[in-house]
Structure 1
Amino acid sequence: MVHYIQKKTGMINTERLSLRLLNNTDPEFILELVNMPEWIRFIGDRNVHSTEDAQNYIQNALLDTTSQYWIVSLKEDKIPIGLITFMKRSYLLHFDIGFAFLTQYTNLGYAYEAVNAVVETILSDPSHEKIAAILLPENKKSIRLLQRLGLRFETEIKKKEQVLHLYSVPTDYLKINRLTSRFFNLFTNTNQQTPPLDDLYSICLQKAIIAKKEIDRTEIYDLEEFLNPRKIILTDGTLTEFREYEVSEETRISNHLAQRISRYHKDGYLNGVYFSENGTKLFQFTKDENTWKIASVIWEDSTSPVT
């Protein structure tokens, strides 16, 4: 769970990290970061060769009212390890997200954890309809991170004799991704955790319909009818070590309506016997006041592999 105060302090806290806005106490870290071989190769030489240069770099960044810069630090010892930016570039239609981390802190999941938290704060601002990112096509690690966040290749851009790749994603798509993940996570009780089943009421419309397709019939539930029997079996030992997650999806968004075909896998122990199944869920969503909610879900289980 991400906790943040976006407007006043810019503070964002995740499980392992603390993010704050760039300030004048950061020149030593900036000096180290922008002179990394990876920064110079993939971002460019900023001609920052002293703490004075770094201070000027910071001052210029702080004067840019269209941009935000977050310093990423380890939560326990406050050591700065990375920088995340969110800025409006003159040649891009939408704001661009960027990130860089000290070499010794890469491949540890910190970059994804931090950037995902910043994206979460961006999604709370309805003025952002898309999130963009530009980078060199050979920057494979950053491309993989962007793809994991949900951004997809859009086009090539020529800038200062360089060919850059533009990645982007609609913020509505990211919101629906998160809403779908919350639905699947409602029922997880692995490692003796208590599933957050009552969250169903906050992610669905009050009169949402949930249906299960059997071979010869369709069972239809309101939220309470669907939830009550699952509360029992997920907490009384009948169904244990249960998890359900999305394997692939197809999402279509039209203004304030959306539909998602979700192929999923689930497994666990029912009365002590292990089981594993796949299936398909069809979600329908509606959007009111910048908030997406589930209007209906229909699912069909299958023991065949999900493709």
Structure 2
Amino acid sequence: MTSEQHPGGAATEDRAAIQDVVRTFFAAFTSGAGCAERLDGLRRLFLPQAVIVRAGGGTPAVYGVDDFIAPRARLLTSGALTDFREWELTGRTDVFGDIAQHFCGYAKTGVQDGVAFTGRGMKTLQFVRTPAGWRISAAAWHDEP
């Protein structure tokens, strides 16, 4: 049975719920007003034991949830990084029962220490259904060089 065959349109509802999590995930990485609150809300998107990996450039960097969020919160609220935002360009979500994955391209722009920059990359987010809704169990990304 494919996710499309689940009764009651569950796959469509699941994809919409997952897309809400993806939007909230990307919105958290926006500097300016409300940044601290958005980053704090980011914790609720993850399972407490989630694994986050930055790939590319040699040895992957592996983070737990708090180890991932803390340095980004410092950077986004310190004033060293301004006008920053990250957003999804294209993406695909696959759902099967209580697991799902979202693979997407994304872009980012900002000004760090007075120097404007842009970038792109790919992210993969793995999801599991919990009693509280869909949560990220793992994430990985690779920025273009």
Q: Stretches of 4+ moved more than 6 A in 1?
A: none
1:212 CA drift (Å): 0.1
- Of 43, 57, 62 in structure 2, the residue corresponding to residue 215 of structure 1 is 57
In structure 1, the partner of 2:44 is: 202
- Distance in 2 separating the partners of 1:290 and 1:130: 19
Give the 3 Å change call, closer, same or farther, for CA 129–240 of structure 1 in structure 2: farther
Alignment of 1:19-34 (within 5 A): none
Residues 176-211 of structure 1: per-residue CA shift (max 9 Å, x gap): 00000100011111xx31311111211110111111
Amino acid at match of 1:193: A
In structure 2, the partner of 1:285 is: 127
Give the 3 Å change call, closer, same or farther, for CA 180–129 of structure 1 in structure 2: farther
Count of aligned pairs: 137
- Three-state SS of the structure 2 residue aligned to 1:180 is helix
- Of 73, 79, 86 in structure 2, the residue corresponding to residue 231 of structure 1 is 73
Amino acid at match of 2:110: G
- Three-state SS of the structure 2 residue aligned to 1:225 is helix
Residues 117-167 of structure 1: per-residue CA shift (max 9 Å, x gap): xxxxxxxxxxx9439xxxxxxxxxxxxxxxxxxxxxxxxxxxxxxxxxxxx
In structure 1, the partner of 2:3 is: none
In structure 1, the partner of 2:92 is: 250
- Distance in 2 separating the partners of 1:287 and 1:247: 25
In structure 2, the partner of 1:260 is: 102
TM normalised by structure 2 equals 0.89
Contact 1:246/1:262 (<8 A) preserved = yes
Q: Which has a greater percent of strand?
A: 2
In structure 1, the partner of 2:33 is: 193
- Distance in 2 separating the partners of 1:194 and 1:176: 23
Give the 3 Å change call, closer, same or farther, for CA 201–129 of structure 1 in structure 2: farther
Amino acid at match of 1:180: V
- Of 166, 179, 188 in structure 1, the residue corresponding to residue 21 of structure 2 is 179
- Three-state SS of the structure 2 residue aligned to 1:237 is coil
Structure 2 unaligned spans of 5+: 1-6
Alignment of 1:106-185 (within 5 A): 129-130=8-9, 170-185=12-27
Structure 1 unaligned spans of 5+: 1-127, 132-168
Answer yes or no: is 1:299 the counterpart of 2:137.
Answer: no
Contact 1:129/1:170 (<8 A) preserved = no
Give the 3 Å change call, closer, same or farther, for CA 201–294 of structure 1 in structure 2: same
Compute the RMSD of aligned alpha carbons. Answer: 1.6
Give the 3 Å change call, closer, same or farther, for CA 129–264 of structure 1 in structure 2: farther
Contact 1:257/1:286 (<8 A) preserved = yes
Larger Cα-atom Rg: 1
Residues 23-45 of structure 1: per-residue CA shift (max 9 Å, x gap): xxxxxxxxxxxxxxxxxxxxxxx
